[in-house]
């Protein structure tokens, strides 16, 4: 990254890189959980729910892309091995072993709630100290809040 671009980052860059990589792990796992969940989904409102899960998968992949670009700009390296995704994740991976649409919704709501908590903490960490990362994290957090809301209203429609 440019000298001045780095100089304006007012937090410990190594610590920030660790947090960004942990979020990056979450995004790949969320992507996969949504993507494969959409494929295996069965039960009520299958078509609509699979469509929503696919859309969210795309958005999680977009988040992974945003995070990796910031990691590289800050002089870091994104996690290179799939096993590191499982080691570094904050929110874990919940295999969609029960493909029923209601179970999938509940599982992914839990994941979004963890994502919201994670990004809210990250936002606090960079607040007033790294405006570029702050702006990016805020954008991601807005998507996660929307994801939770989308899934909760689908679940509500079904009850
Ligand atoms: Fe995400
Ligand atoms: Fe999400
Ligand atoms: Mg949505």
Gap between the Cα atoms of 123 and 99, Å rounded: 34
* Domains in the chain: boundaries: 14-158
Q: What is the pTM of this model?
A: 0.96
Banded pLDDT at 6 (limits 50, 70, 90): confident
Which-ligand-closest: CA of 64?
A: 1
CA of 152 to the centre of ligand 2 (A): 13
User: What topology is assigned to 14-158 in CATH?
Assistant: Ferritin (1.20.1260)
- pLDDT class of 148 with cuts at 50, 70, 90: very high
- Cα of 6 vs centre of ligand 1, distance in Å, is 25
Centroid of ligand 3 to alpha carbon of 129 (angstroms): 31
What is the average per-residue pLDDT within 74-89?
A: 97
Q: What's the pLDDT tens digit per position in 90-140?
A: 999 999 999 999 999 999 999 999 999 999 999 999 999 999 999 999 999
Q: Are 68 and 18 in contact (CB under 8 A)?
A: no
Residue 105 main-chain phi, psi, to 5 deg? -60, -45
């Amino acid at each position: 990254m440019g000298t001045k671009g780095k100089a304006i980052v007012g937090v410990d860059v190594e610590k920030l890189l660790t947090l960004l990589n942990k979020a990056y792990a979450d995004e790949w796992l969320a992507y996969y959980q949504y993507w494969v969940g959409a494929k295996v989904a069965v039960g009520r409102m299958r078509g609509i729910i699979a469509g929503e899960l696919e859309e969210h998968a795309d958005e999680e992949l977009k988040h992974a892309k945003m995070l990796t670009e910031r990691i590289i700009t800050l002089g870091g390296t994104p996690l290179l091995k799939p096993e590191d995704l499982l080691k570094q994740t904050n929110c874990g991976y919940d295999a969609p072993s029960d493909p029923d649409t209601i179970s999938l919704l509940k599982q992914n709501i839990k994941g979004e709630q963890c994502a919201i908590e994670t990004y809210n903490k990250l936002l606090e960490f960079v607040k007033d100290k790294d405006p570029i990362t702050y702006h990016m994290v805020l954008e991601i957090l807005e998507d996660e809040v929307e994801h939770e809301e989308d899934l909760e209203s689908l679940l509500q429609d079904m009850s």
